[in-house]
Chain A
Amino acid sequence: MQNKYTDWKQALRSGLLGGAIIVLLSLIGIVTAFNKTFIITKVLTFGELLLLGPIIVFSFVAIRKAATKSPGFLLLTGAIAGLASGLVLIALVGVGQLINLRAMFVNASDDLYAIYSYNQTLFFGMILRLAVSGLTGLMTAGFFRLPARIKQALGQALLYIIMMGLMSKLIGTVIASWGFVSLLFEWMFARSGLSIVGAVVIFLLVGGLTYWRYGRPKARLVRDPKKQQLVRWGTLGGLGILILLLPSILGMWFSEILDNVGLFILMGLGLNIVVGFAGLLDLGYVAFYAIGAYTIGVLTSPELGFFNMTFWQAFPFAILVAVAAGILLGLPILKMRGDYLAIVTLGFGEIIRLLALSDWLKPWLGGTQGIQRIAKPVIGIGNFSIQLESQQQLYYLILAGIVIVAFIAIRLRDSRLGRTWMALREDEDVAVAMGINHVATKLTAFAMGAIFSGIGGTIFAAKLGSIYPSSFMFLVSINILSLIIVGGMGSIPGVFVGALALMGLPEVLREFAEYRYLFYGAALVAMMLAKPEGLWPEARHKLELHEAEAPPPQESEPAATSA
């Protein structure tokens, strides 16, 4: 009986917590703000989802924690948790009727109460709310009593509907750029959210597919290893073509985002060498980005009129200057480690930005006005040359940069030099005792990092056509470092995933308007809690058993030949 008593308490507590979270979301104003944003048009708003979501989560928690596992009791647990959450909302409304909450919480308005009570009279509406809350808890409990196969299918289908409904505006902009093809998808979306037909189709499609695939082993289309190789290459090729076509598929607006993500990937790959491979915490990495950009600016801008070079003429100089800066920064900080290194590099980053901003260098670097009319890169020869100007064209320049840089990064990682960096990262004293020259090794890391960042800077300058000191704030360094951490320290695919998550997510979250960064922050916290080692952590290569790793020759073969 003791068990049951604690379970009651547990259910009640979970429910109250869920209710508190709903109240929190309401008072921040999210619920009111998204009351008109439909997930499924005329059926479910995002605001309503925010009122029900926490109940689902917390009644699930209550059910999971319950010690008594009898089905009836679990259903009851869910219902109690849901009702408890509902009661919290009623309490809020009640308090709101008695005293003016708006003095403190702007969003505790009649609008909110109207949403709570489904636009009915307050009394009847709140009873309805309580019932819906309890029912949600009950249904959550019921959901987990379903057979695994149905549970999976249903869960997936609902998840897809919610995701697609939330992203419907984004998906809409993408599809709109497809011309007449867009007509094929129009019926799926309403003015806000999915159309009812669209939701039903997604439900049936996703649910049906999940149900069908459940428990089936991943079918191999082809069994012949040679053909499998072919399939693998085919997939890679298809992926390559997709990446090449991305700007056309996604349209202008997304291309701009892709470009930004691409630049961050470039720089992330560079900083990953310094921080991830060699373990040198560099917080002033934006300096090399600025140096690359400013070198291109000074050398090409006719406004300054010093050199009037073309982009490609100036490019090697930009890289040389970046390398020189990398080594120059590296020299004084060779003996520093950890926190001290971080502080000094942070200072270096700021020094470069302040130099660009200074009156002293204004005749050369333009001070606050920056540098305008930076040359765009031209590709091709003679009559067959084009100037890369639009975001979609620049995408290919960035892509080419990423391919080259990623290739170099992978080769470096798997080399003696990469090993040396990692040894230095793991234990500098021991590495040196093994004969590693820490001066040369660290400087090489800094120089490589500077090159990659410098390349990013040159493209950035060409992309915008003008640069200002304010583009090279400390925050850029932090963003690059964060994307490496989110992706997984020292992992090259991690840089890609991290950049997409960190730079792409805020753009995708635009749907959430002013609450964008709230969700962004929550998503980051959730990511780091779920995968503290990064989204795609680094895996060490197998060297000893490289050959043995290949699948052993099939035993049936020799048997077949002997027979």
Chain B
Amino acid sequence: MENVLVSKKVTKRFGGLEALGKVDIELKKGAIQSIIGPNGAGKTTFFNCVTGFYTPEEGEILLNGRNITGLSPDRVAHLGVSRTYQNIRLFKNMTAVENILIGMHPHLKSWLFGAIFRDKRTMNEEAEALAEAKRLLEFVALKGRGDMLAKNLPYGEQRRLEIARAMANKPHLLLLDEPTAGMNPSETQEMVHFIRRLRDVLGITILIIEHQMRVVMSISEKISVLDFGQKIAEGTPAEIQRNEHVIEAYLGRGAASGLGEAKAKG
């Protein structure tokens, strides 16, 4: 199977600080894969490099074999990369449907002319977009919530709406930054099922940053561990749990207590 995302020796520095050092990560099509690591390990920086918000100083990022290093974020989005944010970043004063419609932006065409004259093509495009947005709302179990302002939705629904917005782009690659942050165990469980369904039903390749070990271990097929910007380990959940470096860097004080601590962080 071909790789959807390949990062080759990606290095990002902020002044003297090396936030990412020669990070190699590969994602197979249809994979669910995680990046873990202590706070400040460079996980979100990696996301920002992939989505074009940062341009890495060295290395290459390939999306479906195409070099996207240094492209602007909106170009990267057009090529089929979507993301969510660690702290939910919806368009708070827009409705849920409008949020999803914004996510659909790369697939719509109308501009000034269409807006003012409302020609047939624009109207059709808008009607289809709206229908699609409603389908997505249903998919993330937010049917009937579409006309609520994003800021008025409960926390869990905001998380799902953010994912719906990301999916509206029909992405090849979905980057989820701590999708279960701030959720209780049952909500977390729901989210895990939901992410699996995304992959199983829609075939989207998913890369997750996650702190909750239980989530990471249960959902990922492959885990990459970052520490101080370096990839210190990579492998299946079972391999990672046994890896000495990981235990040292991440779960330092013994696996059992480390697990508890990590959960508290989430």
Q: Which residue of B lies closest to A411 (CB)?
A: B116
Q: Is B256 part of the contact surface with A, judged by Cβ < 8 Å?
A: no
Whether the Cβ atoms of A430 and B85 lie closer than 8 Å is yes
Q: Which residue of B lies closest to A423 (CB)?
A: B102
Whether the Cβ atoms of B95 and A422 lie closer than 8 Å is no
Residues in B103-129 with C-beta less than 8 Å from chain A? 103, 105-106, 108, 110-112, 114-116, 118, 122, 125-126, 129
CB distance from B134 to the nearest CB of A (A): 6
CB distance from A226 to the nearest CB of B (A): 26
Q: Complex Cα distance A423/B98, Å?
A: 9
Whether the Cβ atoms of A544 and B115 lie closer than 8 Å is no
Whether the Cβ atoms of B146 and A545 lie closer than 8 Å is yes
Whether the Cβ atoms of A544 and B97 lie closer than 8 Å is yes
Q: Which residues of A contact B249 (CB under 8 A)?
A: none
CB distance from B169 to the nearest CB of A (A): 7
Whether the Cβ atoms of B115 and A415 lie closer than 8 Å is yes
Residues in A509-537 with C-beta less than 8 Å from chain B? none
Q: Complex Cα distance A420/B110, Å?
A: 11
Whether the Cβ atoms of A436 and B98 lie closer than 8 Å is no
Whether the Cβ atoms of A427 and B89 lie closer than 8 Å is yes
Q: Complex Cα distance A419/B74, Å?
A: 16
Q: Which residues of A contact B27 (CB under 8 A)?
A: none
Q: Is B247 part of the contact surface with A, judged by Cβ < 8 Å?
A: no
Interface string of B204-240 (1 = CB under 8 A from A): 0000000000000000000000000000000000000
CB distance from A128 to the nearest CB of B (A): 57
Interface size class of B (residues with CB under 8 A): 35 or more
Selected contact of A422 from candidates B91, B103, B165, CB within 8 Å: B91
Q: Which residues of A contact B77 (CB under 8 A)?
A: 432-435
Whether the Cβ atoms of B115 and A432 lie closer than 8 Å is no
Q: Which residues of A contact B102 (CB under 8 A)?
A: 419-420, 423, 431, 434, 436
List the count of A-B residue pairs having beta carbons below 8 Å apart. Answer: 119
Q: Which residues of B contact A436 (CB under 8 A)?
A: 74, 102, 105
Q: Complex Cα distance A543/B144, Å?
A: 11
Whether the Cβ atoms of A411 and B98 lie closer than 8 Å is no
Interface string of B135-158 (1 = CB under 8 A from A): 001000000111101000000000
Q: Is A110 part of the contact surface with B, judged by Cβ < 8 Å?
A: no
Interface string of A536-563 (1 = CB under 8 A from B): 0000111111000000000000000000
Q: Is A216 part of the contact surface with B, judged by Cβ < 8 Å?
A: no
CB distance from B160 to the nearest CB of A (A): 15
Q: Which residue of A lies closest to B145 (CB)?
A: A544
Q: Complex Cα distance A417/B101, Å?
A: 11
Total contacting residues, chain A, CB less than 8 A: 31
CB distance from A255 to the nearest CB of B (A): 30
Q: Complex Cα distance A429/B110, Å?
A: 22
Selected contact of B98 from candidates A408, A429, A540, CB within 8 Å: A540
Whether the Cβ atoms of A416 and B110 lie closer than 8 Å is yes
Whether the Cβ atoms of B95 and A408 lie closer than 8 Å is no
CB distance from B55 to the nearest CB of A (A): 14
Interface string of B78-89 (1 = CB under 8 A from A): 100011010001
Q: Complex Cα distance A412/B147, Å?
A: 20
Q: Which residue of B lies closest to A407 (CB)?
A: B116
> Which of A423, A436, A544, A545 gathers most chain B CB within 10 Å?
A544
Whether the Cβ atoms of B147 and A544 lie closer than 8 Å is yes
Given A417-B111, A430-B85, A540-B98, A437-B74 contact (CB < 8 Å): yes
CB distance from A299 to the nearest CB of B (A): 26
Given contacts A416-B108, A420-B102, A544-B137, 19 further A-B contacts (CB under 8 A): A408-B116, A416-B122, A416-B126, A417-B111, A417-B112, A419-B102, A432-B72, A433-B83, A435-B78, A448-B112, A540-B94, A542-B95, A542-B147, A543-B97, A543-B98, A543-B147, A544-B96, A544-B133, A544-B147
9 contacts between A and B (CB under 8 A): A417-B115, A423-B94, A429-B89, A433-B73, A433-B74, A434-B106, A437-B74, A444-B111, A545-B144
